[in-house]
Amino acid sequence: MKIALDAMGGDFAPQAAVDGAVLAAQKLAGAAQIVLIGQEDAVRPLLQQHGAAADGLILQPASQIIEMGEHPAKAYQQKQDSSIAVGYRMLHNGEVEAFCSAGNTGAMLVGAMFSVKPVSGVMRPAIANFVPKLAGGFGILLDVGANAECKPEMLEQFGELGSLYAQYVLGIDKPKVGLMNLGEEEGKGTVVTQAAHQLLKVNPHIHFIGNIEGRDLFNDKADVIVCDGYTGNVVLKMAESVYDVLAEKQMHDPFFDKFNYEAIGGSPILGINDNAIIGHGVSTPEAICNMLLQGYQMAKSGIADQIKDTFKS
């Protein structure tokens, strides 16, 4: 199995990318090979610095870089030899089984939509992220930014996508799906959440437990938390800021330390035909390493096929 990494993506690339890939290769211990995609001149010397530890890593040349500030769709189209475009091409061609990048988030989404494409039957793919649970492990939160605005049917599908991920990748049996809302009662919320509640309630593929509230993010009410991308993004960034403040105050705790994005890896794009993960722009080697291990887990679990099966009817 091969997992690809955008060696040029992220604020500290290519150094952090190469260091993270070497770390991941050690942990994978041959279970999967890592393909580093990027400018040969920049990446090769960094690999050499690692000596024998980098022996198993494959370098796939890509001459261009999509910068963080570039217009995603335009850059993706114009830079066909960029590390992101090459990564998606390899993914689409089956040369690698997952593609990870801490680069331009918009370009990663563009590639997901236009290269590997949404699974037939999925209205709009979602970006998922993870919230630590007080009882241990993580829950999955989606969407966190791909779709600021959602139709009720999209939220219903996010419930299904998240439930499949929780089941097949996180290993949660019969995951509990909750709809983020401003009250527990069925009739609460916006027109969209009210309608989504009715759809989720009768969906036979999931175990819907009803509305949850902002205070339920960390408890064990729901393993899968469904919301629109606007809300998910606010929640995610707020959780990150809580971690940052605690870290700055040197208030450490095993639970709150799991808020650290580095421990989580990246955000999978769910509902597309292959496995793609978006990393944090400020990804450190540890974060890159965890994103690659997550890509390996996704590929091994066959989550993309599970999603295709569920939605093919």
Site stretch for a second copy (CB under 8 A), options 54-62, 151-159, 161-169, 213-221: 213-221
Query: What's the CA dihedral at 128, 129, 132, 133 to 10 degrees?
Result: -10
Contact flag: residue 200 with a second copy (CB under 8 A): no
Contact flag: residue 193 with a second copy (CB under 8 A): yes
What are the angstrom distances between the C-alpha of 22 and each of 264, 276, 285, 288, 293?
18, 20, 9, 10, 12
In angstroms, give the least distance from the CB of 156 to a second copy. Answer: 18
Contact flag: residue 135 with a second copy (CB under 8 A): no
| Alpha-carbon gap, residue 46 to 78, rounded angstroms | 28
| Alpha-carbon gap, residue 116 to 273, rounded angstroms | 6
Contact flag: residue 234 with a second copy (CB under 8 A): yes
In angstroms, give the least distance from the CB of 213 to a second copy. Answer: 5
- Return the residue of 71, 92, 117, 188 that touches a second copy, per CB under 8 A: 188
In angstroms, give the least distance from the CB of 214 to a second copy. Answer: 3
Cβ neighbour number for residue 173 with a 10 Å cutoff: 8
Site stretch for a second copy (CB under 8 A), options 46-54, 86-94, 114-122, 178-186: 178-186
Token representation of residue 82: 């960029």
Show the site string, 86-125: x = touches a second copy by CB under 8 A, - = not: ----------------------------------------
Q: Are 231 and 148 in contact (CB under 8 A)?
A: no
| Alpha-carbon gap, residue 76 to 110, rounded angstroms | 7
Give the 3-state secondary structure of residue 223: coil
**Measuring CA to CA, which residue among 109, 111, 117, 7 is closest to residue 59?**
7
- Return the residue of 72, 123, 209, 213 that touches a second copy, per CB under 8 A: 213
Site stretch for a second copy (CB under 8 A), options 6-14, 93-101, 241-249, 302-310: 241-249
Give the 3-state secondary structure of residue 75: helix
| Helices then strands, each counted (H, E), the chain | 12, 11
- Return the residue of 40, 240, 257, 286 that touches a second copy, per CB under 8 A: 240
Find where tokens 């209205």 sit: 123
- Return the residue of 1, 53, 238, 282 that touches a second copy, per CB under 8 A: 238
Contact flag: residue 231 with a second copy (CB under 8 A): yes
In angstroms, give the least distance from the CB of 76 to a second copy. Answer: 18
What are the angstrom distances between the C-alpha of 29 and each of 6, 24, 44, 101?
20, 8, 21, 21
In angstroms, give the least distance from the CB of 253 to a second copy. Answer: 6
Contact flag: residue 3 with a second copy (CB under 8 A): no
Which DSSP helix (H) or strand (E) runs through 19?
Answer: helix 15-28
Contact residues: a second copy, CB under 8 A: 134, 145, 148-149, 180-183, 188-191, 193, 213-219, 227, 229-231, 233-242, 244-245, 249, 251, 253, 255-256
